[in-house]
């Protein structure tokens, strides 16, 4: 049985930011938190409890998985867990980006019609 990726839409903003972070490659939790903070200029902060609860949910739903690949031990903390996006997660992220682009186009069209 395959899961229809559209059932996840619209994505919660935390899910979107995590999937977007992992679309660039595998990351550990702290790295995800930092990337989201930097990418949003500090407007979105994923606190540890929120982040790790969300990661657990994304794993359970099949959108991400824990990576078995590890950096060299001298370059990393052995306690860190690394995550990567799954094929389903990539498709969900792609569909969400298309949905958001459509919303932006509608707003732009409306703004042109009403001459804000």
- Which domains does the chain carry? 7-114 (1.10.10.10)
How far from the centroid of its chain's Cα atoms is residue 21's Cα? Answer: 5
Each residue's pLDDT tens digit, 9-54: 999 999 999 999 999 999 999 999 999 999 999 999 999 999 999 9
Q: What is the rounded average pLDDT of the residues 81-91?
A: 97
Residue 103, pLDDT > 90, answer yes
Q: How confident is the model at residue 73 (pLDDT cuts 50, 70, 90)?
A: low
- Give the burial string for 76-101 (b: 16+ CB within 10 Å, else e): eeeeeebbbbbebbebbbebbeeeee
What percentage of the chain carries pLDDT values higher than 90? Answer: 78
Residue 36 has what pLDDT? 97
């Amino acid at each position: 049985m395959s899961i229809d990726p559209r059932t996840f839409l619209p994505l919660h903003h935390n899910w979107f930011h995590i999937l977007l972070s992992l679309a660039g490659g595998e990351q550990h939790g702290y790295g995800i938190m930092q990337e989201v903070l930097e990418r949003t200029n500090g407007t979105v902060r994923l606190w540890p409890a929120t982040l790790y609860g969300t990661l657990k949910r994304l794993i359970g739903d099949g959108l991400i998985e824990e990576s078995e690949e590890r950096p060299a031990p001298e370059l990393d903390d052995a306690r860190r867990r690394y995550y990567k996006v799954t094929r389903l997660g990539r498709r969900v992220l792609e569909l969400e980006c298309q949905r958001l682009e459509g919303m932006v186009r509608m707003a732009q069209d409306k703004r042109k019609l009403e001459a804000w």
